[in-house]
Homo-oligomer: A and B are copies of this chain.
Amino acid sequence: MKAFVFHGPGQSAWEEAPDPAVKEPTDAVVRVDAVTICGTDLHILKGDVPEVRPGTILGHEAVGEIVEVGSDVRTVRPGDRVLVSCISSCGRCSYCREGMYGQCRGGGGWILGHLIDGTQAEYVRVPFADLSVHALPAAVDDKDAVLLADIFPTSYEVGVLNGRVRPGDTVAVVGAGPIGLAAITTARLFAPERIVAVDLAPARLEAAKRFGADAVADAREAPEQLIADLTDGLGADVVMEAVGVPETFELCTRMVRPGGRVANIGVHGKPATLHLEDLWIKNVTITTGLVDTHSTPTLLRMAAAGRLPTAQLVTHTFPLDHMAEAYDVFGRAADTGALKVVLGGEQHEVAVRGT
C-alpha cells in the first residue's frame, strides 16, 4: 500500500509501505477513506516529538471501512464504516475504567502515528478496536466524521467540559486557530451568554465570528480590559488556552474571574509563569489534559442529528495521495488560510469513480 512515512526531521514521503495485518485478537484493519492532518503532525515532522521513530507512518485521525478484525473484536466487523479515534483504549487499566483513555496504561492512549503506524495511509491497523473505533451513522459524511477523531473531542473535553461551561457564562477563547474554533463551536452547546475570541490575526478573528464568537479582541490590545468591561470588572467565567505558548497561558490567568476556570487545551513546549502571588487568593481552577475521546459517541450523535457542523472547519480537500501537498497547504496556514484539510472522503471517491 501507499502511506505517509516519517524518516526523521524534515524528511517524509508518500511511499510504498507494507500492508498492515491483524496482529492481536483485538486488532482491526481499516481501509482509510478520509484522513486529516493535525498540528501535532507538523511538530513531529520538525522533530519536536522524539519518541516518533523514523519509519513510522504518521496520522491519528481517520474514517474508513473495516476490512479485517481479530478473533476477539465484537462490536464491529468487516464492511462497517467507522471513525478511527486518535486515542486507543485497552479498556482494562484503571484509567480506561474511568473513561480516561488518553492516560491508558495498558498499551493504548495516543499511539497511532506516534508509537505505532498511523492513519495517513491506505490501510491502518487499529489496536483495541472495540474501544478505539466507532461505527459511523450513515447521516454523518466523511468530512464531518473525520473531525470527530481528534479536534472536536479535544476542544469539547479538554476545553468545554474541563472548563465547565454553563448557561449564562462569559467564555473567552484565546487562540482562534482550528482548535479554538472547535472550542467556540462546542462551547455553544452549553448556551453561554457570550464567547469572546482573542487572537493576533484579523483573519482568525473573522473566522471566530463566523463560528459563533460574540466578540473578538486583538491579543495585543489588552483583551483583559474588554473582558473586564463586559463582566462588570470581574473577568470571564471560563477561559480556554488554545495556542500553547507561555504568553497566552499567562493572559488566560489574567482574564479569569475569581471562582472561574482556566482550561488549557494548547500543547506546550515550554514552562509558563504562574502568578501565584495574584492567583492564590482567587479560587481559580486550572486544568490540563490530553483528550480521552470519551465524548466521541455523544459528539457523533450530535453530528448525526445535524447539531454539530464540524465540516465547516474544512477549508481544503485533496485526494489521499496528495499528502505532501496537503501538508504544505496546512503547514502554511497563515498564507493559505487553511483551517483543516481533509484527504480522501467524497473527493477520494470521486477520484476512484473517475478512474
Contacts and interface: CB of A to CB of B under 8 A. Distances in A.
Nearest to A26: B72
Interface stretch (A56-64, A198-206, A221-229, A259-267): A259-267
Interface in A54-96: 71-72, 74-75, 90-92, 94-95
B94 A91 contact: no
A95 B258 contact: yes
A25 interface: yes
Contacts of A284: 287-289
A285 B307 CA distance: 27
A102 interface: yes
Interface stretch (A11-19, A297-305, A340-348): A297-305
Contacts of A268: 276-277, 279-280
* Copies of this subunit: 4
B189 A297 contact: no
A189 B302 CA distance: 14
Given A273-B273, A283-B103, A194 B289 contact: no
A50 interface: no
A266 B276 CA distance: 9
B301 A280 contact: no
B259 A100 contact: yes
Contacts of A297: 94, 97, 168
Contacts of A288: 276, 279-284
B277 A274 contact: no
A53 to B, nearest CB: 19
Interface string A90-130: 11101101111011001000000000000000000000001
B259 A280 contact: no
A254 to B, nearest CB: 12
Nearest to A129: B92
A262 B259 CA distance: 16
Contacts of A266: 280
A275 interface: yes
Contacts of A280: 244, 264, 266-268, 288-290
Interface in A290-317: 290, 292, 294, 297-299, 301-302, 305, 307
Contacts of A95: 258-259
Contact of A92 (B131, B193, B264, B276): B131
A246 B280 CA distance: 12
B249 A276 contact: yes
Contacts of A42: none
Contact of A25 (B71, B103, B130): B71
Contact of A189 (B71, B191, B270, B299): B191
A78 to B, nearest CB: 18
A283 B100 CA distance: 9
A190 B187 CA distance: 10
A229 to B, nearest CB: 15
A270 B264 CA distance: 22
Interface of A: 25-26, 71-72, 74-75, 90-92, 94-95, 97-100, 102-103, 106, 130-131, 166-168, 188-191, 193-194, 244, 246, 249, 258-259, 264, 266-277, 279-290, 292, 294, 297-299, 301-302, 305, 307
5 contacts: A97-B99, A189-B190, A194-B305, A244-B280, A285-B286
Given A75-B92, A281-B288, A283-B288, 15 more contacts: A74-B106, A91-B92, A95-B259, A100-B259, A102-B283, A103-B283, A166-B298, A188-B191, A244-B280, A264-B276, A267-B280, A272-B273, A274-B274, A283-B289, A283-B290
